[in-house]
Amino acid sequence: MRIGLFIGLLLLAGLTLTVPASEPVAEFVPKPHPRGYVALRAPKPPVIDGKLDEEVWKAAPWSDDFHDIEGDTKPKPRYRTRMKMLWDDTYLYIAAELEEPDVWATLTDHDAVIFQDPDFEVFLDPDGDNHLYAELELNAKNTTWDLLLTKPYKDGGKAINGWEIAGLKTAVAIEGTLNNPKDKDKGWTVEIAIPLASMKELTNQRVPPKDGDQWRINFSRVEWDTEVKDGKTVKIKGKPEYNWVWSPQGAIDMHRPERWGYVQFSDRTEDPPKFVPDADAGVKDWLHDIYYAQGAYHKKHGKYTAITADLGEALAEKTPRGGATIETTKRGYTATAGDAKRRWSIAQDSHLIRE
């Protein structure tokens, strides 16, 4: 089970758990840029029925196939998963295709813990500040779980389970038969329309976005090892789930928003322009390495440090252009880096802010 959602379930149940301190960072290693996708403007709204055969979807390119959540060092997922996006001034449209030879699902209650079934998940943080972001999960029965995260679980964040994506539309189409292990299925497809107005409470970004704007987003698929008992497909007890994602996280934790991908909005209705990498990615990576190193330092010393070299010589040597500062307080710290035009800061709760 993913550590973030496991902690969240305990919080929702009123239980407490000591969260492990952030892992130490021995040196600054530039990260591969998260994946990017250019979403075309929909010439007309697609019908949300789970079927992806409408003309409106044909111009939207498929994403790269999903990878293991930890990246390419892990085995390639055994089933293909991919997605595509469109948008207009009202909705962000998401389509997904999940290869699956035995499509099954059991959960029917809204806001149940959907990843206990095989599922498809969306994570959305429009302003990319690591705080106040949305998560949506759905299974092959089109049962949904939408929730709001105040901040990542590792930073003491809590899941607001009663929050709803107002006006959300979802649908599923199955290429085969649901819950029948006797035959072989092709898989299932998903169609989602997220009202852009529902994202206004999460961000200071423009809503609806403009041509060229970018939001942070990621997608995950949970899959289980199964067996057939009494004519039904069931999970094999003791086996962990698989997490297959669009933009790899580098850890078994979807709640590291800094590793999510980007959706870039385009006014074109066909022939998407090239994705523009985040010019501040290097600064943000450095600040996040400071964040993880400060967590390890605090675990060892019971305090934070204002000296970058205390956190690793390589971090000090790779200080971003424009310089960097760390200011500590009794309860935390603020690390700031970048040039005069674009400076960013991060705090002990991973809140990333453009100064």
What digits encode the pLDDT tens for the residues 276-292?
Answer: 999 999 999 999 999 99
**Alpha-carbon gap, residue 214 to 127, rounded angstroms:** 8
CA dihedral over 213, 147, 140, 104, signed as positive or negative: positive
Residues 76 and 46 reside in one and the same domain? yes
Q: What is the pLDDT of residues 113-126, one digit of tens each?
A: 999 999 999 999 99
Residue 59 sits in a domain of what CATH number?
Answer: 2.60.40.1190
The pTM of the full predicted model, rounded to 2 decimals, is 0.92
- Domain carrying residue 350: 281-354
Same domain, 97 and 242: yes
Least confident of 18-22, 33-37, 39-43, 161-165: 18-22
Q: Which of 212, 236, 265 is where one domain is finished?
A: 265
163 and 137: one domain?
yes
Quote the number of domains for the chain. Answer: 2
Judgement on whether residues 209 and 286 belong to the same structural domain of the protein: no
Question: Are residues 151 and 250 part of one domain?
Answer: yes
DSSP type of residue 349? T
Q: Does residue 288 share a domain with residue 257?
A: no
Distance of alpha carbon 251 from alpha carbon 209, whole angstroms? 30
* Euclidean distance between CA atoms 326 and 291, whole angstroms: 11
Domain-terminating residue out of 207, 232, 265:
265
Quote the mean pLDDT of the chain. 92
Residues 193 and 305 in one domain: no
pLDDT value, residue 16: 31
86: CB partners within 8 A, 6+ apart: 39, 40, 41, 42, 46, 56, 57, 60, 93
